[in-house]
Amino acid sequence: MQKIEHIGIAVKNLEESNILFAKLLGKKHYKIEEVASEGVKTSFFKIGSNKIELLEATNPNSPIAKFLEKKGEGVHHIAFAVTDIKKEIKRLKKEGFIVLNDPEISGLKKGADNKLVAFLHPKSTNGVLIELCQEINTK
Ligand code: ZN
């Protein structure tokens, strides 16, 4: 793994949280993106070489809606940048981590911010949802 790419925070109201985080960080979000397949609307803030991703549910079946219901607002996941996501998943599976969207079964997911993403189940990572993300090369 290369570095922490971003930290994902589940929020009830993206618009209000965008204002709150702009006050906190002293700068505005640089993009808003909806990932319809995941039922989320996201916004991104740059902070140094890392990012903060705010996530709002767009429907009641969204994983974010379920998270908010269970735990309320707060840190939802930590995302690590990787250069070769398939290789990394293979390595992590061998180490006993549970991959949520196993690319060998369902194919890799396209996440927000032009990334291929995969998640590790929190029950295999001390309760923290881990996202792996690899930049999609656009030529
Ligand atoms: Zn994320």
Residues 24-33: tens digit of each pLDDT: 999 999 999 9
Those residues whose C-beta lies under 8 Å from the C-beta of residue 100, and which sit 6 or more positions away, are 118, 119, 120, 121
Quote the pLDDT of residue 110.
81
C-alpha 94 – ligand 1 centre gap (Å): 23
Residues 46-95: tens digit of each pLDDT: 999 999 999 999 999 999 999 999 999 999 999 999 999 999 999 999 99
C-alpha 11 – ligand 1 centre gap (Å): 13
C-alpha 53 – ligand 1 centre gap (Å): 6
C-alpha 113 – ligand 1 centre gap (Å): 9
Partners of 55 in beta bridges: 10, 42
Number of other CB atoms surrounding residue 60 within 10 Å: 9
Tell me if 7 sits within 8 A of 78, measured CB to CB.
yes
Quote the pLDDT of residue 93.
94
Q: How far apart are CA 51 and CA 61, in angstroms?
A: 26
C-alpha 95 – ligand 1 centre gap (Å): 23
Kindly tell me if the per-residue pLDDT of 102 is higher than 80. no
Kindly tell me if the per-residue pLDDT of 111 is higher than 90. no
